[in-house]
A = this chain, B = another copy of it.
Amino acid sequence: MRPYTFWLSSSLAAALLTPLVPVTAGDPLGFSPGGARAELQWEAKFKAIPSADTIRETIRRLSAYPHHLGSPHDKENAEWILARFREWGLDAHIERFDVLFPTPKERVVELVAPSRFVARLREPAVKGDPTSGQLDLSLPPYNVYSADGDVTAPLVYVNYGVPADYEELERRGISVKGAIVIARYGGSWRGIKPKVAAEHGAVGCLIYSDPRDDGYWQGDVFPEGPYRPRDGVQRGSVADMPTYPGDPLTPGVGATEGAKRLPIAEAKTLTKIPVLPISYGDAQPLLAAMGGPVAPPSWRGALPITYHMGPGPARVHLRVRSDWAIKPLYNVIATISGSESPDEWVIRGNHHDAWVNGADDPLAGLGALLEEARASGVLLKQGWRPRRTVIFAAWDGEEPGLLGSTEWVEAHADELRTKAVAYLNSDTNGRGYLRMAGSHILEKLANEVAESVDDPETGLTVGKRARLASIHRGSPSERKELRGGADMHIGALGSGSDYTPFLQHIGIPSINLGFGGEDGGGVYHSAYDDFYWYTHFSDTSFVYGRALAQTAGVMAMRLASAELLPYSYTNLASTVQGYVGELEKLLDHERDEVMELNRQIEEGTYAAIDDPREPMVIPAKKDVPPHLAFAPLRNGADALTRSAGRYADALRAARQRGDTVLASSSLRAVNALLVKSERRLTDDDGLPGRPWYRHQLYAPGLYTGYGVKTMPSVREAIEQHHFAEADSAIVRLGGVLDAEAALVDSAAAALEAASR
């Protein structure tokens, strides 16, 4: 699954209330001067080990055959990875779960009126690409967790199929009730599209890849270029991931042999209507046969047709039948025990299953992870002993819905709650800029690590390159901040890769890492994401694979060996202040919008601008959003800012005293507090309507899926105009921030005491 990655971004407009220490100041975060010296020596040795050639060979080997969950090569790859971990001296095993994984038995898409056309629904082999023709070993294009169904109905084009698109349809008086919708990929997690379609009464859903989004409009198509060819199809899960990820039958518990399973009919994350993905070659005749209003400009793709919204006259027959089987999945887990704090865990993961051959997704990331494991083995032989336990995980079943990671986290939830210090994730990887998103208590560490790895193309550090790129495209205020040496902001995580159970279910500080921006392409989840494609169009010399191994490796090493956990609360606090400001602005914006809408309705503006030949429904007046009492949030954020400042002062004082303090064994008590700090941002009751999601700062949006909603309980209530809910969410979230502030305050006090 392609992670929904963020650039190191400076988009957070919040004033930085506490000055951030420039990244160049002093030793790595959390280390005493002596500890830092040793650490930097080990890191230098580590960084010399990852080899582009080895990564190339790993990716070549593991992408040789399709290796989706449940396939022979999925299991074989897991066993090969296990053998490597063991060969490198790590304590490794395979951990199996049994999960619901439907695979297609019947797939039909045909235009039945006004003319006839039968969709091809398959990806032909490409000449010169040796792995593109393994049709007997691969799953054909489909959307896993689609309902079974057989429907014939008029077609309605719904653009990306997100809620705002249905508002646009309603303005034209177009209903999808009883219709089959055709949505284009993009704009949301694909599972949102059938969910929203069904909520509006549609009976079926087609999802196609428009050439505007990842085909010829973007660049030359495969095999001449990296973009999606005419018959390429994006497979993928349509589970309702924002409700819960993982096995649909075992929410909240590991899908072990004896686990209690829901009947399929009760699994809440399966779609209500049949869904199939199609290529633009198959979509064009369907779209060209449509009538109704011309779609608005932002809906129009790059097919050589006029895009119409429907409904009809195109009528489509859609049939989907799956084999609803339980399949085994194989997580490969390797452990290096910590020398001093074995019960503090740093976990590094990347999935190994793919939709087809998966050279980019997931092997470009997994190739780096395996190099980190190999390098760790080399270092261990040289005497390196991480203070904390390091766990490498190659997850299975990520593509259907983060199955391997989610079941593992659910199975080990209690232990993880006590022990986990951080989770570092990767997935795809390409050429260009370091992209990092995750927990903001890791933001300073991320900035420091980015300054210690060299960019293969420019000779700059990857941090410096990302910083200059942010300056280049930043606003004047962002440029000023970045030039002043402030930490680059990392984005927050929504969902789409294996960090979700760690971060959002348990509250483990998590970060997602990868390179990209110079590696455009359109083979995502198709048979063409293979070694031929990757070695012609992406990180062809695998030097960014090496850079990813160096970046994630150094980050894991620092987390594993810092005397004091390398968290920064000033970064967290300034981010939180920014979120509160955004929510206030959001509410003001909603209020202004409604007031202006109502006024224009009263003035007769909508009647005046109506074109009688393209009539629109005049909107109804709305209730004006009330003012909300944001004080609990502001107070919580301010308390956190104060505590974070106190902690930063205490840390600075401790650093100035040097080895004697930071090496002190009383730091163990401080660490015991710090390890709880991301957990304290969760709530056992979870988010409204989706108890699985417990983190109160970060969640995938209910109607975005990939895209994050920060402070989701408050933000989504405001967006949906549930203001009573927003009011109580503000109070609860204020309490969470107060509790976090109290925890950080007690950590600061403990650090002050340790320094005395």
Contact = CB atoms under 8 A, between A and B. Distances in A.
A303 B604 CA distance: 40
A511 to B, nearest CB: 23
Given A211-B304, A302-B304, A304-B303, A468 B609 contact: yes
Contacts of A225: 306
A210 to B, nearest CB: 11
Contacts of A302: 302, 304
Interface string A196-240: 000000000000000100001111110001010000000000000
Copies of this polypeptide in the complex: 2
Nearest to A517: B611
Interface in A588-626: 596, 600, 603-614
B518 A611 contact: yes
A613 B219 CA distance: 14
Contacts of A227: 306
B457 A612 contact: yes
A478 to B, nearest CB: 12
A682 B221 CA distance: 56
A608 B300 contact: no
Nearest to A606: B472
A446 B218 CA distance: 46
A458 interface: yes
B305 A608 contact: no
Given A294-B219, A304-B304, A468 B608 contact: yes
A302 B304 CA distance: 7
A124 B497 CA distance: 55
A219 B302 CA distance: 13
Nearest to A613: B518
Contacts of A479: 596
B221 A306 contact: yes
The size bracket of the interface on A is: 35 or more
B303 A607 contact: no
Contacts of A84: none
Nearest to A221: B306
Contacts of A216: 304-306
Q: Which of A303, A305, A609, A611 has the most CB of B within 10 A?
A: A609
A406 B32 CA distance: 84
A605 B518 contact: no
A604 B471 CA distance: 11
A217 B306 contact: yes
Given A468-B603, A472-B600, A608 B303 contact: no
A450 B458 CA distance: 62
A267 interface: no
Nearest to A307: B217
A471 B460 CA distance: 51
A611 B432 contact: yes
Interface in A442-498: 457-458, 460, 464-465, 468-469, 471-472, 479
Contacts of A609: 465, 468-469, 472
Nearest to A471: B605
A300 B302 CA distance: 10
A597 to B, nearest CB: 10
A600 B471 contact: yes
A123 to B, nearest CB: 19
Contacts of A610: 458
Contacts of A465: 608-609
A458 B609 CA distance: 9
Contacts of A614: 518
A222 to B, nearest CB: 12
A592 to B, nearest CB: 8
Contacts of A605: 468-469, 471-472
Given A225-B306, A600-B471, A600-B472, A217 B300 contact: yes
A217 B298 CA distance: 11
A619 B165 CA distance: 42
A303 to B, nearest CB: 7
Nearest to A291: B220
Contacts of A220: 294, 306
Contacts of A306: 216-221, 225, 227
A302 B603 CA distance: 38
A594 B472 CA distance: 13
A736 to B, nearest CB: 36
Contacts of A596: 479
Q: Which of A294, A606, A607 has the most CB of B within 10 A?
A: A294
A46 B624 CA distance: 47
Given A219-B294, A471-B603, A518-B613, A460 B608 contact: yes
Nearest to A611: B518
Interface in A282-301: 294, 300
Contacts of A607: 458
A702 B131 CA distance: 57
Contacts of A304: 211, 216, 302-304
A607 B596 CA distance: 47
Contacts of A460: 604, 608
B464 A608 contact: yes
A619 to B, nearest CB: 12
Interface of A: 211, 216-221, 225, 227, 294, 300, 302-306, 432, 457-458, 460, 464-465, 468-469, 471-472, 479, 518, 596, 600, 603-614
Q: Report, nearest first, the 3 A-B pairs whose CB atoms are least far apart.
A: A468-B608, A304-B304, A468-B605
9 contacts: A216-B306, A227-B306, A464-B608, A468-B600, A468-B609, A469-B605, A469-B609, A471-B603, A518-B611
Given A219-B306, A220-B306, A464-B608, 8 more contacts: A460-B608, A465-B609, A468-B600, A469-B605, A469-B609, A471-B600, A472-B600, A472-B608
